[in-house]
Amino acid sequence: MVALANNGHTPWRAFQQRLAEEIEKAGNSVENTADTEDAYFDCWLAAAERTLVEEGFVARRDMDERIDLIRAALADPAVDPAANPTRDQ
C-alpha cells in the first residue's frame, strides 16, 4: 500500500480512511485483547484488500481465489501458491 501511494497509484488518505473504518468495525478487539497486534494487522489487511478491489487493481473474485490458494498451500506443501487458479482449473 505504501508503494502504491508513494508512486501515485492510489491516495494514501483513501487507505487511511478504509483502515479507520476497519478498526471501527473491529471495535474492542483491536484495543482490549492480548492479540492487539494481530487484530490491528487483520484490520490493516482488510483495508488493503478493500483498497486494491475498490481502486480497481484486482477483482474481488481473483483476490478471493488467490487467498484460498495461499491458505491451501499453508495447509498442504504440495499446493503451489504461485499457480494461477483461474487458468489452472
Find the angle CA(13)-CA(17)-CA(18) to the nearest 5 degrees.
Answer: 120
- Long-range (24+ apart) CB contacts under 8 A made by 33-38 are none
Query: What's residue 18's pLDDT?
Result: 96
Straight-line distance from the first to the last Cα atom of the chain, in angstroms, rounded to the nearest whole number: 30
pLDDT digits (tens, 9 = 90+) for 5-62: 999 999 999 999 999 999 999 886 666 666 777 888 999 999 999 999 999 999 999 9
Residues 6+ apart with CB under 8 A from 68: 85
- Rounded CA gap, 38 and 59, in Å? 26
The reported pTM is 0.75
Neighbours of 58 (CB within 10 A): 13
User: Confidence band (pLDDT; 50, 70, 90) for 73?
Assistant: confident
